[in-house]
């Protein structure tokens, strides 16, 4: 049977691992989404420039 200290350490290690995994996955997903947002923002900006050129503003 584990002592209270050993049991606590196991639980903390497990919680830390879960927290790390979740934050790593979230960060990866966020970075992928951010790349897509940047592409969309660039395309929107490009379309705006085209419209301004067409209007000769």
Cβ pair 10, 17 in contact under 8 A: no
Give ∠ CA 23-25-28 in degrees, rounded to 5.
105
pLDDT at 57 over 60: no
CA-CA distance, 29 to 35, in Å (whole number)?
Answer: 10
Over residues 17-39, the pLDDT tens digits come to 666 666 677 778 787 887 777 77
DSSP 33-50: HHHHHHHHHHHHHHHHHH
pLDDT at 43 over 70: yes
Q: How many CA atoms lie within 13 A of 40 on its CB side?
A: 6
pTM given for the model? 0.36
3-state secondary structure of 21: helix
């Amino acid at each position: 049977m584990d002592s209270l200290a050993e049991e606590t350490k196991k639980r903390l290690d497990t919680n830390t691992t879960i927290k790390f995994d979740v934050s790593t996955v979230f960060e990866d997903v966020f970075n992928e989404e951010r790349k897509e947002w940047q592409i969309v923002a660039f395309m929107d900006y490009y379309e705006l420039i085209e419209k301004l050129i067409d209007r000769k503003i």
